[in-house]
Amino acid sequence: MQVHAYSAPAEGKPLVPLTIERREVGPRDVLIQITHAGICHSDIHTVQGDWGPQSYPLAPGHEIVGVVAEVGTEVARHRVGDRVGVGCMVNSCGDLG
C-alpha cells in the first residue's frame, strides 16, 4: 500500500513530498486514514538531529487524528469508521516491519 507524506530528506532539510510503501495490515493493527497531523517542537528537534542521529528520510508528525479505515482480525476496540486520535508516541511497539 502506498501513502503520501512529507518528510525530511536529511538532517536540517525542509520537508518535501514522499511516497511511502506500507506493509499490509496485520492482525493487531489499526489502519487510520489521517485527516490532520500536528508538527510540534519535538518533531523539529528530531528533523534537525538535535536528539542524536536519525534515519532519513524521516516523516515527522506523531500527533494525529483520523478515521479507522481497516482493522486487523484480532482488534476488538475499534471499528471501521471510528474517529480516532493518536497521542505523543503512546503504546507503540516500535516495530515498523
Q: Are 78 and 29 within 8 A, CB to CB?
A: no
How crowded is residue 40: how many other Cβ atoms within 10 Å of its Cβ? 13
Q: What is the pLDDT of residue 90?
A: 57
pLDDT in tens, 23-67: 999 999 999 999 998 888 888 898 898 988 889 998 888 788 999
What is the DSSP code (8-state) at residue 11?
A: T
For residue 32, which of 7, 54, 61 has the smallest C-alpha distance?
Answer: 61
What pTM value is reported for the model?
A: 0.74
> In order of start, what are the domains of the chain with their CATH numbers?
2-86 (3.90.180.10)
Other Cβ atoms closer than 10 A to 10: 12
